[in-house]
Amino acid sequence: MVNSNGTAVGSGQPGSWKVPTRGDATFQWDYDSHDEQVLRLYAQGKERQWNAAGELDWEHELDPDNPLGIPDEFVPIAGTRLWERLPETERVAVRRHTQAWAYSQTLHGEQFALVGLGRLCSAMDDVDAKLFAATQMMDEARHVEGFNRLVTDKIGIRYPLCGPLRAMFEDALHHPDPDFFGIAGMVLENLALVMLTTHRSRLTDPLGRAFTEYVARDEARHIAFGRIYLRRRFSGLSTPELRQREEFALDCCRVLHQDFAADAVWHTLGFGREVAEAARTSVPEILHRRKVFRHVVPSLQDIGLFGPRMREGLEAMGLLRFARRPRFTDPGGPGQEGSPAADAIAHAETAARRQDIEAVARLGATAGDTA
Ligand SMILES: [Fe+2]
Ligand SMILES: [Fe+2]
């Protein structure tokens, strides 16, 4: 449903959503032990603050036909017969709404990060980690501000939180142990980083390019911290505790692999169920999922959630091939999602993606630099 201002409305908008939370806050009297990796990230977090209101040109007018200037090859139904037949006026609506949907979900994800980090910061045992988490909270607040301006003020269409992400947020926040927020946050930050690093180079709109570049730098720092923090947390856990976290991480992977799709767009624009299905299995969507899991799967390895249950679950989804091997081998080879066209394009993009993957992996390993 779209209101008179062109803004999509639905249940939960406007309004609020209460998720009961439990857990302990931890005070730490050891101010003398320090973690140099985390302190370096904290220093970067302080130095690289930016002002979403002041450093971007919000007066810039977006193109009403393609607000962020996303090439049509990224439209979920690009390459289908429907897209070829669609009149330009309807293509414009699809471009506007698919961009609005993706950036709206990211906006909601940023609020999830802000809320969850508040809780995680309270629970953390280590003072240095609390300090970094405080800088990340400011980053996430800035991201909420920026995505909201982009979605609500500039594109003019805001979608509600989709069902699969809502369920993931609720499970993560409801769990008494904030590790579960940490896992969901890491998976979602990889999802966001893939979109941002793709868009910062491919958007033709200068505001969109600048904004995605700024946010991508912050997210790379967050992923680096998440890898250090979660790896340490999980290194001391028992096998049953690790198994529980692996199951939750697999649930998060299933959401992104099977459920996270812009069905609301096709419903809002009056397309049938078959279009929603075609969009889920289109070449652009298959490519996007592959890019996401090329980042998510190595992250799971890095934080130590890669036991037999995890490998079995990833294998069942056709995702185990994205695991990092002793020497980098081609993860874009013939896949299990069955699209020769997607395989060909994925192979061509592997070199560029490899650079991103390895840059983020180095961040996690050394915490000495950001993208
Ligand atoms: Fe963020
Ligand atoms: Fe983040």
Tens digit of each residue's pLDDT, the chain (371 residues): 444 344 444 444 578 889 888 889 999 999 998 999 999 999 999 999 999 999 999 999 999 999 999 999 999 998 888 999 999 999 999 999 999 999 999 999 999 999 999 999 999 999 999 999 999 999 999 999 999 999 999 999 999 999 999 999 999 999 989 999 999 999 999 999 999 999 998 999 999 999 999 999 999 999 999 999 999 999 999 999 999 999 999 999 999 999 999 999 999 999 989 999 999 999 999 999 999 999 999 999 999 999 999 999 999 999 999 998 764 444 443 333 434 444 443 444 444 444 544 454 454 444 333 33
Q: At what angle do helices 127-148 and 206-235 cross, to 10 degrees?
A: 150
Q: Please identify every residue whose CB atom is under 5 Å from ligand 1, which is an ion.
A: 110, 140, 143
Query: For residues 138 and 327, what is the distance between their CA atoms, to the nearest angstrom?
Result: 37
Domain assignment present for 293: yes
Q: What is the pLDDT of residue 20?
A: 86
Query: For residues 140 and 143, what is the distance between their CA atoms, to the nearest angstrom?
Result: 5
From residue 74, alpha-carbon distances to 94, 101, 161, 276, 319 in Å are 11, 13, 21, 15, 22
Domain assignment present for 4: no
- Tell me the CA–centroid distance for residue 155 and ligand 2, in Å: 22
**Tally of CA atoms within 13 A in the half-sphere of 202 that contains its CB:** 12
Tokens of 325: 């091997």
- Tell me the CA–centroid distance for residue 140 and ligand 1, in Å: 4
- Tell me the CA–centroid distance for residue 142 and ligand 1, in Å: 8
Domain assignment present for 3: no
Q: What is the pLDDT of residue 195?
A: 94
- Tell me the CA–centroid distance for residue 18 and ligand 1, in Å: 21
From residue 71, alpha-carbon distances to 67, 92, 103, 165 in Å are 11, 12, 16, 26
Q: What is the pLDDT of residue 355?
A: 53
- Tell me the CA–centroid distance for residue 147 and ligand 2, in Å: 13
- Tell me the CA–centroid distance for residue 222 and ligand 2, in Å: 5
Domain assignment present for 25: no
Global pTM value: 0.86
Domain assignment present for 8: no
Domain assignment present for 291: yes
Domain assignment present for 266: yes
Structural domain including 147 reads 36-366
Q: What is the pLDDT of residue 149?
A: 97
Domain CATH for 358: 1.10.620.20
Which long-range CB contacts under 8 A does 357-362 form with residues at least 24 apart?
357/294, 357/295, 357/298, 358/328, 359/220, 360/193, 360/220, 360/223, 360/224, 360/295, 361/298, 361/302, 361/324
Domain count within the chain: 1
For residue range 31-61, what is the model confidence (pLDDT) as tens digits? 998 999 999 999 999 999 999 999 999 999 9
Tokens of 54: 């002041």
Q: What is the pLDDT of residue 19?
A: 87
Domain assignment present for 10: no
